[in-house]
Structure 1
């Protein structure tokens, strides 16, 4: 064998080793790609299931919001019908407070009048007694 033949043989062996490594590498890449495809397929299935669940949940939430809005509307209507009652109670409370103040004022005036009447009665009696005394004294003179 000549130097060119040995070089060709070494090149052929190196090429064969390179091809063997490339085949092994390609087989590993094929397994990895298959695994990635499987993972992507599972992710797509999961996304599809989650999307269906989210759609179902969004419909349920929409129904709950609608019912909640109806409930709040009903409560607002009922509160609006009760508002005059609270206004009437407030007016009644004010009237009762005014009546109470008037009653206290009346009792105070009656007490003052009673004191004045009692004083007037005592003064009247003293005055009558004094008049009788002066009349008798004038008669005696």
Structure 2
């Protein structure tokens, strides 16, 4: 064999090895593409199932939300009542603070007056009793106004 024949033989062997490698690679690629084809064929059915489940989930969520809204609506009057009670107690406590502050101011004024005029004990006690009587009348009138309001 000549050198040309040996070269052609080596090229033939290289071509055969390359062809075998290429055939195996193409065969594996064919299997992968076949699997992708099967997956793509099942995809519309799977998407239909997912869409049905999503629709059911949204329907159940809407039902749950409607139920929660009904229950909150049923509890709303309770919250309004609690708010009214809090507002009433705030008004009552603020009016009590006002009465207490005015009593404190008036008793201090009476105390100063008795000291200035040096009237002392009995007259001071009578003045204090009269003051409490007048304040009681004023408180009763305030209570009547709040009850009628």
Shorter-chain TM-score: which interval? 0.5 to 0.7
Cα deviations by residue, 1:79-129 (Å, 9 ceiling, x for unpaired):
12222222223323432211111233455678879xx9xxxxx738x99xx
Q: Work out which of the residue numbers 55, 66, 78 in structure 2 matches 1:73.
A: 55
- Report the Cα distance in structure 1 between the residues aligned to 2:77 and 2:66, rounded to whole angstroms: 16
> Does 2:29 correspond to 1:47?
yes
Higher-Rg structure is 1
Q: Unmatched 5+ residue regions in structure 2?
A: 100-131, 138-149
> Does 2:7 correspond to 1:25?
yes
What's the CA shift for 1:78? 1.4
Aligned-pair Cα RMSD in Å:
3.1
Greater RCO (CA < 8 Å, at least 6 residues apart): 2
Structural mapping, 1:34-113, within 5 Å: 34-106=16-88
- Report the Cα distance in structure 1 between the residues aligned to 2:133 and 2:46, rounded to whole angstroms: 85
- Report the Cα distance in structure 2 between the residues aligned to 1:106 and 1:28, rounded to whole angstroms: 107
Kindly tell me the number of residue pairs found equivalent between the two proteins: 101
Give TM-score scaled by structure 2 length. Answer: 0.53
Give TM-score scaled by structure 1 length. Answer: 0.56
